[in-house]
Each structure stands twice: as C-alpha cells, then as structure tokens.
Chains A and B, each alone.
Chain A
Amino acid sequence: MRFFLLLLLSWNCLGVHAEPVELTMANKLVALAEYRKGTPNKPAVILLHGFLQTHDFPTVHSLVAGLVDAGYTVLAPTLTLGVTYRKQSMACEAIHTHTMRDGMEEIAAWVGWLKARHHGDIVLIGHSFGSLEAIAYLSDKHDQAVTRFIGISVIEGRLTLDAAQTAHLIAEMRLAANSGEPRVVVHQFSFCQRYQSTPKGLLSYLEWTPRRVLDAAAGLPVPSLFIMGGRDDRLGNGWVSQLKVRSRVKIIEGANHFMDGEYEFDMIDAVLAELKVS
C-alpha cells in the first residue's frame, strides 16, 4: 500500500513540476540539479546526495517526492566532482580530482541560487556522505538563509585504518599534494576499495576524520537532526552511539543505510516532522 502511494506521489510530483537546472560554477564546470518549487511559506530544502552519486539516487529521489508532496520547495543538485554536466554516478576507479572544498563551494553556490528564488528558510538535508558535505559547509561559513540541517545516515568517512595509520596516510597525502606533481593515488576510502584520486582530493576527505565529524555535528550553528537506520551496516561500530552523545539522533529501527523499502516513509515522516518543527 505504501509502495503504491509512493508511486502515486512520484508521478504527481516528478511528472508535473520537475525543472532541470544548470549552474555554472566558478571553475567553469556546469552542475546539474532538479528543482521543485513548493509552497512559498514553507522552507526550501536542498537535498545532497551521497558519495559519488547523483540527485537521481533512489533515497534522494524518495525524499524529493515526499517533500514535494508536502509542499516544500526542493532543490536536489548533483555535485560535479570535477565533471561538467555530470549526470552519472562516478566509479571508484575514475580519476577523481575533486575535493571536499569543491563540494562545499558548490553547496554554497546552490544555496545562493536557491536563495535568489526562495525568500524563506533553507533546510539542508544530506544523505550519507552528502550529510558530511553539508556539515563541512555549515562548519565553515554558511549562508544565514540556511536554518536547519537534517542528516540522514550520516557517515564517518570510514577508513579501515586505525588512528595512527590514518595519520600516517594523511601525512603522506599532504606530502604528495604539496609536491605539485600531477599524480593519482589509489587507496581504500569509504565504500571504495580502490579509490583513485589526486592526493589533494583524497586528503581533503581524509582530513574529515570521525572525531572531526562528531565535533562538527555537535557544534553546528543551526538545529540539526540525524536520522539513522537501526540496521545500517555501512557505519563503523559505535558510530551512531557516538553521534547520539552530542547530537540529536532519530533511529528508524529496521532501516538500513539507504532507508529503502517500507522505511522510506518512516524516513520521510521523520524528515517532515522535523521540518514542521521549524
């Protein structure tokens, strides 16, 4: 029944009001996004996709549908990751030249773009690594129009290394990045076993260690809620518990990292409930 309703919502929302959006970034790359205009008196939502994904990722897509149906203006951009007009999710083995900073700047660009069209509050919602990108953006300098943050299945930038090893790797990447020579490194990162990237790019992500993420999440300048799946197996042990220590966390029991299936509604309900609060 829920699935039927979801399809109905998808048809109503995506088929009528979808508007592709192109935005040329400062580096001349063109970024793509999906824009859904909602009720003016409701906050607009920027939905950020996960690591190497696009705004067409199912979890993002479900959230777009739920929010549009609830009358929220939604902007779902696809970060370029160094590829102009990027429409495809990127492979781990691709030559990644993008950095965390690039993502933060593209979020800022999209906030600016949205703010030019929506005069109300802006809520950042991120899924998985998109939550981390949003935390990084909010932790650095954020537009005041952004008033709330919801992180879904926020990830810790997991490495299969202990702290010492991580530190050693970071040092190594810094050295390589500072050498100025165009080179790429291949290393395990996040869900990629062979993540091929420039040292600078990899370093920008490695520097967001779990501790840094917990600290940043706890110190966000806007109200935030972390919605986590009770059966998310992509997170490190104790990550949710650590997150709960200093941040507001809602656990959807039984849901995995992607909140798919019947848990999509729980996820949307939780998001909508949080948006109502604001």
Chain B
Amino acid sequence: MKPQSIARLASLFILGVAGFILLLGAYLWLETERVSREIRAREEQSARAEVMAGLKQMQSRADSLARALALWDETRQQLVFTDYYTLWRDARVRDAGMVPESVEAVGLYDKQGRILVAPAAAHPLLRQVPGVAPLFLLQREHGRSYFLVFLPVHADPDGGILLGYLGLKFDYARELRQVRTYQFADLGKLRVDLPEGSSVSLAQAPTYTRYSTYLNPDRVAFHDLFLTSLLRLMVVILFLLFLAAWLLQHLLVRPLRAFSAEIAQLREPGVHLPGKSYIVPLAVLELENMRHSFNDYQMRLSALHNNLEQNSRDFYDQARRDALTGAFNRRAFDEDWKSQDEDRRLGPLALLLFDCDHFKAINDTYGHQTGDLVIQNIAAALLEALRSADRLYRLGGDEFVTILSEADSYRAEVVAERCIEHVLSMNFRQYGMSEPATISIGIALSEGDGITLHELQKRADLAMYTAKRPGSRKLVFYSEDMGGMAALVGNREISAVFQAIANPDLIELHYQSVIRLPMEIREYVEALTRIRFEGELIGPGAIFPIVQARNLDMELDLAVLRALERDMTLGRLPAGQGVSVNLSAPSIVNAKVVDALIELIHKQPGRKMVAEITETALITQIEVASDNIRRLRETGCLVALDDFGSGYSSLRYLASMPVDLVKFDISMVRLLESGDRRQCLMMEEIANLVVTAGYEMVAEGVETRELLDKVISLGFSHAQGFYFDQPTAPNEWS
C-alpha cells in the first residue's frame, strides 16, 4: 500500500468518524421515528381496546341498572296501576336512586311495546320499543348520540308473565366516558357518524364512533427530548470531532510534518539539527519523547560528528605536523604552498629558509637524542621569534622554512635576526653541549614581480648556502649575483658531487701557493677541490654547500685524497712538492680519513704534507681529533688550523689541538686593511698571542704588497693569496 501522509490519514479518520456519527445519528433518528410510529399504533390499538371495553362495561352497567329497575317492585307496581306513572317516572324512580343522573330518560312500555305515557321530556324515549327486547342501541338524534336500553319486565321470577318493557336513555358519549378511565382513547371530542334519527345495535357502535387517541405526553416528551438530545449530541460530537481535528492538526500533524520536513532536509548537505521543531516542546507525550529521543540521537550524532571532525582535524593536523618539533612538516608546506599551481605568481612576501649549522657533527658528537633536543629547541626558538600568524615548517633534518606575507626586506631581516637571537639565547649546555647551536638563514623576497614559489624557494636555498659558507653572514638575502650558484645547487650540481665522490677522477684539484715569509718563496701548495662534470668545472662555492647540506664531508675528503694521490702518481704534482689538503671537522675525527691520509703520506715519502683542519667546522670530539692530529704529526705531516677567526674561533681548539700552523681567515687578515685601529690592534694582539703560543701563522687572502708587509710585520710565517698566484690546474701550474 502506498504510504499516505499523516494529514491525509488524520483527515480521512476524522471524516470517517464524522460520517459514521452522522450515519449512526440518522439511523437512531429513523429508528426512533419507527418506534414512535409503532408505539402510536399500539396506543391507537389500546385506545380501540379501551373503547371496546368501555362499550362492554357501559352495556353491562346499563344492563345491570335496567335489570335492577325491572326487578324493582315499584316498576311492576307502575305497569299494573299506571295512575301515578308520570310521578314515578319523573320523580320516584330518581328519588329512589334507581337510575343515575346520566340517564337522560326512563320509561315503561306495555306488553305491546307502546310507551305508557307519551314522552314530553327534552330527550324523550322512543314511543315504541324498536325490536325484541332486550335491546342495546346507539341512536343519533338532534345532533346528539344516545345509548338506548330496552328490557322486558316480568311479573314472576321465572319470566313467564310479561308485564311490559323498560326503556332507558343515556348520553352515549358521557356514559362511555364515565364507565371507565381511558389512558389512550381521547373521548373529549367523541362523535358518532350516524345519519340523523337512525340507530344501530350497540355491537356496531365501534364502526360509527369516532374519537382520537391521547398523545402520551411522556412518550411525546421522550421522543422530542430524545431527538433534541440526539441533535445536540450530534452537534456536540461533530464539534468535538472538529476540535479533535484541530488538535490533531496542531498537536500531531503539523509537528510530525515539520519533523518529517526537517528530517528530510537532513539529506541536504550543510543542514544541521536542531531546527525549530526540535526546540519547541510538543504537546503529545509520544511525540515529545520521540523529539527528545531524536534530539538526543542527533546530539550524540552531532557530538560524534564533531569528534570525528576533531579527530579528522587532529589527524589532519598531526599529518601536517612534525612530531618532533610541533612545527608544520613538509607535507603541510606542500599543501599550503606547493599544492598551488607552481606557475602562480606570488605577491609580496619573504621566504626564510633556516638550517642548523653543523647539525651532523652535533648528532655524531652528542648523539641523536641530543640532536633531537637541539632541533626541538631551535624550533621552539623560531616559533617564539615568528609572528603568531606565521607558520614554521620543518622540511626535513635541520631545515626549517617560513613565509612572511606582506613582508619587505627590512621586516624579513628583523624577523630573521630575531630568530637568530632566539636560537642563540637557548641554553644548549643543559644537554652537555660545549658549543652553541647556530642557524643559517637564507632569505628570498618576492616583490610581486611574478616569481613563483619554486623559484623563490630555490633562491632561498642559494642564500642559505651562501650563509653556510665560511666567513659568511648567517643571514643572507638572495641577490642576483648568486645566480651563478643557482645552477650548482640544482640537480646537476648535486649529481656532480655524488658522482665525484664515487669517481674521484671527476675531481680536478687546483693548487695555490703558500709562500714562506719573509723570503717569499713557495713552500708548498694548497690543493683546492673542483669537479669537472660534463665538461664544466664546478667550483667550491657550489660544492661545499651541497657537501655540508648532504653531510658528505668525510666522503668528499676521501675522494679528494684519492684525487691527490692520483695527481702525485701521475706527476701532476712534482715530486717533492709539498702540498696541503683540507680536512673537514668530521674527517679529522674519522679514523678512515686519517688512515687514508697517513697511507698517502707513506706512499709519498719526502714530500711535505700539511693537513688543514677547517676552524669553521665544529669539532666536538677534541680528544679524538687531538689523537688523530698527533698520529698525523708523527708521520711528519704538519697540521694547520684553517679559517681561524671565521668560525667558532675557539681558543680551546688552539689550546687543545697540537697544530703546527694557524691559518688566519681572509676576513681576519683583511681587518688589517680596514683602517680601524681597534680592529688592527686586535688582529695584532691575536697574531702576537698565536706566535707567542708557538704556532706559525699563515695569512690568507693576501692580494697586495701592503697587506703582505703588514702580515710580515705581524710575524706571519706564511702567506697565501692572489698577490702570489691564483689556484690553477696542475697542467697550468709550474
């Protein structure tokens, strides 16, 4: 069956009940009318029976009266001696109480039926007995109806001696009314349909007697009351039905329809409960319970939905968060920025790329747990330094990035400096670290010039690599002159580095002279690393950022040692020519690298070998480094502390490690040319300190005579720089 709406069902129900009530009312009405007709018929029948009984009683009474009169001695007396008959007829018979007042006339007849004395009364009897007595007649005379009785009067008790006849005349209607009480027959307007002057036997009286039937007042009242009550009841029931319909409509149908409509709306996305029908209390208990139940269900569903959404958000957030630092991860960065069309042109903003300096060394020195703490602290410091709206992403390892919207170079620099300061303010010593952890920041700006995010990130990479370079500022903005480096940090350069490590023949060592002072003679050369890849020469500016970023220091140093051995073996480096080689901080604490260098020294006896340990690298394992340096020196190899003054400049290095040479960084040497007295004085004092400590000093970046003279005056034993020569390939070197 097709489902019907509650409104239609309710209407059908109400109409059905109303129809049933109307039919029932009509049935009761008709039944009442039928019963009333039957009662009326029975009443008329009872009235007829009453009249019949009345006629019999009237006849019986009249018969008794007439017989008593006929047996009365005085009646016989008058039939024998008639002298005083009229006195007897008019007075005596009534005075003696022999006939009641209802008798209109009484008379005696002789044996022939003739009346004794001619009638003179107002209602006289017939002059002649109209038949054989006894007779009971109904007569119509002068517009009135009479009841006549004629009886024979006998002298003897046996009735053998007829004396005459007795006649009585009654008012028919009055006599009939008096003989009994009538409950049904109304004889008030009794009439007799007989021709004037005619008479019939009393047995035929019912045929000619006309009367009405009482309307039973109780029955009529009950009938009227019942019909009136029925009508009122119908009106009341119909009114109640309409009231019920109204209540049904307002209490059940409308709420249910609204309820249903709002539930139906739930199919549409974006519609949420509770709606109006869920707020307004319902009058019907079951509906109210259903509403409560549904609301509770919806609340639980909503709560579940919210929990799911929260979980989804949490999962989504967790998926976008770095578990270690709480910063957003690369996925979030990709979704926030790279999911956009890479060709999309950016507006004015600044991309800051953060990288922890020497993080691999920290990991190797203090363990990964400490490394994780360092990363967490750096992330916390960066988050504190950034604006709340700025998002910090951890791209991987120790690399973080943030993008400052609507930021120019000044603001980007302020934020970057704040980041550096916050990192420096962190207490890393609590983790057992002897050195502070620092960060390098590469900044690339988009000034709405149509640059893409990919390009911007690439620029920030270049700036950050630049910042990573020894002696560079830790905060570096990308500049156009870094464009040359761009290719080196591309996929091609990285590939070149890896292939060079795998194949040291790709490494092309250039050599620069280290001059002995003050004689100004070349004492040895410094091997400088270049990579010949696909016909192009890749310089250190592109190589070492990749190496540091990829933590390839040890591998590259091993490859360089093999390339140096190759040059020695191939004679590219003249026999006996002293040579210095750079070792990174990770390499100096690595036995494999140190063993390789010692093996090379042993293979090239008589050649002066200098191992330059960069001072910019964080050497955390001082004891191991000292042991390895000692092993190298035992082979006759000299050890130089490279880039002194540009990196950590830890005097502990100088005091702890048994080096032979201290190679001042070009930034330090050039202080002598700054004209700043204080800087010159400090340089002089440091040089004096180093010399006093027993070290020989090498000055880098000497490009002029004046500078050479100054370093000579300060006691430098060696100098290096363009003033003497530029790094050249072996085939160009003489």
Name A's B-contacting residues (CB within 8 A). Answer: 28-30, 82-88, 90-91, 93-95, 97, 182, 184, 196
A94 touching B92, Cβ below 8 Å: yes
A94 touching B96, Cβ below 8 Å: yes
Interface string of B53-91 (1 = CB under 8 A from A): 000000000000000000011101100110110011000
B81 touching A82, Cβ below 8 Å: yes
A82 touching B155, Cβ below 8 Å: no
Q: Report the count of interface residues on B (CB-CB < 8 A).
A: 18
A83 touching B84, Cβ below 8 Å: no
Contacts of B88 in A (CB 8 A): 95
Complex CA gap A29/B156 in Å reads 11
Looking at A28, A85, A90, A93, the one whose CB has the most chain B CB atoms below 10 A away is A85
Q: Please give me the 8 A-B residue pairs with the lowest Cβ-Cβ distance, nearest first.
A: A83-B77, A83-B73, A182-B83, A95-B84, A88-B73, A86-B73, A85-B155, A94-B74
On whether A84 and B72 interact (CB within 8 A), knowing A29-B80, A184-B87, the answer reads: no
B111 to chain A, nearest CB (A): 14
A93 touching B83, Cβ below 8 Å: no
B95 touching A93, Cβ below 8 Å: yes
Q: Which one of B92, B157, B163 lies within 8 Å of A95 (CB-CB)?
A: B92
Complex CA gap A196/B74 in Å reads 13
Residue of B nearest to A88 (CB): B73
B110 to chain A, nearest CB (A): 15
A95 touching B74, Cβ below 8 Å: yes
On whether A84 and B155 interact (CB within 8 A), knowing A93-B95, A93-B96, A95-B87, the answer reads: yes
Contacts of B81 in A (CB 8 A): 82, 97
A82 touching B157, Cβ below 8 Å: no
B588 to chain A, nearest CB (A): 179
B92 touching A85, Cβ below 8 Å: no
On whether A97 and B73 interact (CB within 8 A), knowing A30-B155, A84-B155, A85-B156, the answer reads: no
Q: What are 9 A-B contacts defined by CB distance under 8 Å?
A: A29-B80, A30-B155, A30-B156, A83-B73, A83-B74, A84-B80, A94-B74, A97-B84, A182-B83
Contacts of A82 in B (CB 8 A): 77, 80-81
Name B's A-contacting residues (CB within 8 A). Answer: 72-74, 76-77, 80-81, 83-84, 87-88, 92, 95-96, 155-157, 163
Contacts of B92 in A (CB 8 A): 93-95, 196
Complex CA gap A46/B83 in Å reads 32
Complex CA gap A68/B83 in Å reads 41
Complex CA gap A91/B91 in Å reads 14
Contacts of A83 in B (CB 8 A): 73-74, 76-77, 80
Complex CA gap A175/B81 in Å reads 22
Contacts of A29 in B (CB 8 A): 80
Q: How many A-B residue pairs have CB under 8 A?
A: 52
Residue of B nearest to A82 (CB): B77
Q: Which one of A28, A91, A182 lies within 8 Å of B96 (CB-CB)?
A: A91
Contacts of A95 in B (CB 8 A): 74, 77, 84, 87-88, 92
Contacts of A30 in B (CB 8 A): 155-156
Complex CA gap A87/B76 in Å reads 11
Complex CA gap A84/B155 in Å reads 7
Complex CA gap A85/B81 in Å reads 14
B84 touching A182, Cβ below 8 Å: yes
A89 to chain B, nearest CB (A): 9
On whether A184 and B96 interact (CB within 8 A), knowing A30-B155, A83-B74, A84-B76, the answer reads: no
List 17 other contacts, CB 8 Å, given A29-B80, A87-B73, A97-B84: A28-B80, A82-B77, A82-B80, A83-B73, A83-B74, A84-B77, A85-B76, A90-B73, A90-B74, A93-B92, A93-B96, A95-B77, A95-B84, A95-B88, A97-B81, A184-B84, A196-B92
Contacts of A90 in B (CB 8 A): 73-74
Q: Which one of B72, B80, B157 lies within 8 Å of A88 (CB-CB)?
A: B72
A255 to chain B, nearest CB (A): 30
Complex CA gap A83/B81 in Å reads 9
Residue of A nearest to B84 (CB): A95
Complex CA gap A94/B91 in Å reads 10
Complex CA gap A182/B163 in Å reads 22
Contacts of A184 in B (CB 8 A): 84, 87
Contacts of A88 in B (CB 8 A): 72-73
Residue of A nearest to B154 (CB): A85
Looking at B74, B95, B156, B163, the one whose CB has the most chain A CB atoms below 10 A away is B74
Complex CA gap A30/B155 in Å reads 9
Residue of A nearest to B72 (CB): A88
Complex CA gap A82/B88 in Å reads 14
Q: Which one of A85, A97, A196 lies within 8 Å of B157 (CB-CB)?
A: A85
B215 to chain A, nearest CB (A): 48
Looking at B77, B87, B95, B156, the one whose CB has the most chain A CB atoms below 10 A away is B77
Complex CA gap A87/B72 in Å reads 9
Complex CA gap A184/B84 in Å reads 8
B75 to chain A, nearest CB (A): 9
Complex CA gap A97/B85 in Å reads 12
B24 to chain A, nearest CB (A): 73
Contacts of A87 in B (CB 8 A): 73, 157
Complex CA gap A196/B211 in Å reads 46
Contacts of B163 in A (CB 8 A): 84
Contacts of A97 in B (CB 8 A): 77, 81, 83-84
Complex CA gap A54/B72 in Å reads 14
B315 to chain A, nearest CB (A): 137
Complex CA gap A30/B74 in Å reads 14
Complex CA gap A78/B440 in Å reads 179
Complex CA gap A94/B72 in Å reads 11
Complex CA gap A85/B77 in Å reads 9
B606 to chain A, nearest CB (A): 202
Complex CA gap A88/B72 in Å reads 8
Residue of B nearest to A87 (CB): B73
Complex CA gap A91/B96 in Å reads 8
